[in-house]
């Protein structure tokens, strides 16, 4: 490995929550933005949350399978698959859901106009 680059197989990245989250930022020594990969099992929904506390804007890209970002409380559904991407502002509540084949989703976050500060949960021990 060089100080100027680093690569990894997704499944060889540090993992938390029994492999649900792959810590891309930590695994590749990224410091400019947050980036993780989540593997949602079939027909699964995360807890609704927003990023008001962190101020993070989040970008989602489906890598495998299908699902959606559900915008709460209005119920709008933003598809996530190989042909769709989504962005959600910090104060908007969202739930990630997967279809019958599950969903592998790339999640990228950062605070507009601010230097990136890693969230505690993204620090693998």
Given this model, what pLDDT does residue 73 score?
Answer: 75
pLDDT tens across 21-64, in order? Answer: 999 999 999 988 999 999 999 999 999 999 999 899 999 999 99
State the sign of the Cα–Cα–Cα–Cα dihedral 93, 113, 78, 14: negative
Residues 6+ apart with CB under 8 A from 41: 98, 102
The larger pLDDT score, comparing residue 13 to residue 115, is at 13
Given this model, what pLDDT does residue 112 score?
Answer: 87
Q: What does pTM read for this prediction?
A: 0.88
Please provide the size of the chain in residues.
Answer: 125
Residue 9 has pLDDT above 60, yes or no: yes
Residue 82 · residue 31 · CB < 8 Å: no
User: Which domains does the chain carry?
Assistant: 12-109 (2.60.120.10)
What is the spatial distance between Cα 39 and Cα 50, in angstroms, rounded to a whole number?
Answer: 19
């Amino acid at each position: 490995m060089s100080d100027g680059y680093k690569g990894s197989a997704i499944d060889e990245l540090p993992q938390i929550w029994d492999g649900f989250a792959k810590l891309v930022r930590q695994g590749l020594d990224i410091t400019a933005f947050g980036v993780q990969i989540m593997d949602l099992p079939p027909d699964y929904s995360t807890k609704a949350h927003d990023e008001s506390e962190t101020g993070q804007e989040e970008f989602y890209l489906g890598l495998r399978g299908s699902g959606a970002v559900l915008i709460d409380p209005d119920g709008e559904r933003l598809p996530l698959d190989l042909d769709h991407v989504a962005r959600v502002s910090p104060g908007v509540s969202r739930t990630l859901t997967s279809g019958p084949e599950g969903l592998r989703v790339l999640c990228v976050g950062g605070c507009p106009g601010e230097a990136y500060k890693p969230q505690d949960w993204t620090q693998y021990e």
